[in-house]
Amino acid sequence: MQNLLDYTGRRVVVTGAASGMGEATAKLAKEQGAEVVAIDIRKPAHDFADYKEVDLRDKQAVQDVVKEIAGEGKVHNLFYCAGLPGQKFPDFDVIVVNFLSLRYMSELFVEHMGVGDAIANVSSGASLAYLANMGNVMELLAFNNDYEASFEWLKEPRRTVPDWYEPYSFSKQCSVVWTLQAAANFTMKTGVRINVTSPGPTDTAMMPTFVENQREGFFDEYPKPIENRNSRPEEQAWPLLFLGSPAASYISGENLFTDGGTCAGMMTGVIDPTPMMADPSELEERRRRAMEEFGED
Ligand SMILES: NC(=O)c1ccc[n+]([C@@H]2O[C@H](COP(=O)([O-])OP(=O)(O)OC[C@H]3O[C@@H](n4cnc5c(N)ncnc54)[C@H](O)[C@@H]3O)[C@@H](O)[C@H]2O)c1
């Protein structure tokens, strides 16, 4: 039987390949026959065909590495898995690594890709409220790849939707909405498919920071429909490999919830989302901290 998940002969770029979902994706892609180009700010413990040390907060570095990789040979897949959790990292770094560079790198690679090639990136179930925050999301998307203009815009208070001050969720909302737009825009022009996954809590190096960032007990109460457990990195990697493979040859513009059903339950009233929402005083505190960081009252 034909194995549609066979990556033999495919050159695959994975960001965040030193840890968690990125590492699992890079390893499984290699096992499936891919030539893996690993990108991370730190060297992966595992050996891949190539490793590029890149700080994804640096726009020029993103541009340079895409040029370098594309100059070295054909690229068939991009899996942008790098990310930062919120709060303990500067807000703008979170927005840049989780969204602006995801978008910029995807757009740059698309210019070197064609029919049969695919991009599958990682967002988060934390993006769930993107429809409610669409005004802010659209405003940021309109700056395209202008990091400076995005930064200036982010300094302005956005009082109508206080949850904007949580940069992690906002970055993930932007990634989802941009992916939906990109599918219509560049799949039509180039044939390159683009999709995104929205994972639930996953046992990676990032998880302890999420636990620290939330109130005590938050993740114990968090609804996990499958065996009441977090997902494993491989359970995030396989859906990415599926989306990047010919098995998904007619799928583009999909936001795939890889959370065991949590978001589906919240969207349909089966799971009560209230305990998962930040209380208003916490949001006010976040807003205050964000304003402090941007040097405003
Ligand atoms: N773990 C979870 O519960 C969870 C849930 C939903 C979504 N996510 C998302 O999944 C993605 C993967 O996260 P993970 O859980 O595997 O975390 P992780 O911390 O294990 O891996 C993240 C990787 O990104 C790299 N990275 C961070 N900043 C970078 C930079 N400036 N330049 C280059 N590389 C950088 C890190 O070095 C690391 O290897 C992220 O986008 C994260 O937001 C995680």
The answer to whether residue 255 sits within a structural domain is yes
Is 81 inside any structural domain? yes
Name 213's Cβ contacts closer than 8 Å, sequence gap at least 6. Answer: 85, 86, 87, 88
On the question of pLDDT at 159 being above 80, the answer is no
> Is the shortest distance between the CB of 244 and ligand 1 below 6 Å?
no
The residue with greater pLDDT, 132 or 49, is 49
Domain-located, residue 6: no
Q: Give the count of domains, the chain.
A: 1
Domain presence at residue 4 = no
Atom of ligand 1 nearest to the CA of 96: 31
Give pLDDT, residue 155.
80
pLDDT tens for residues 180-195?
999 989 899 999 999 9
* Residue 188 placed within a domain: yes
State the residue range of the domain holding 174: 11-293
Whether 2 is in a domain gets the answer: no
Whether 23 maps to a domain, the answer reads yes
Q: Taking the alpha carbons of 83, 287, 177, 124 in that order, is the dihedral positive or negative?
A: positive
Q: Is residue 1 part of a domain?
A: no
User: How high is the pLDDT of residue 295?
Assistant: 54
Q: What is the pLDDT of residues 265-284, one digit of tens each?
A: 999 999 988 777 766 676 66
CATH number of the structural domain spanning residue 248: 3.40.50.720
Could you tell me the distance, in angstroms and rounded to a whole number, from the CA of residue 20 to the centre of ligand 1?
Answer: 7
Please report the pLDDT score of residue 162 as a whole number.
57
Cα 62 → chain centroid:
16
244: exposed, middle or buried (Cβ count in 10 Å: 0-12, 13-18, 19+) = buried
How far is residue 203's CA from residue 208's CA, in Å, rounded to a whole number?
9
Among 202, 209, 211, 256, which residue has the most ligand 1 atoms within 8 Å of its CB, making it the best to mutate?
Answer: 202
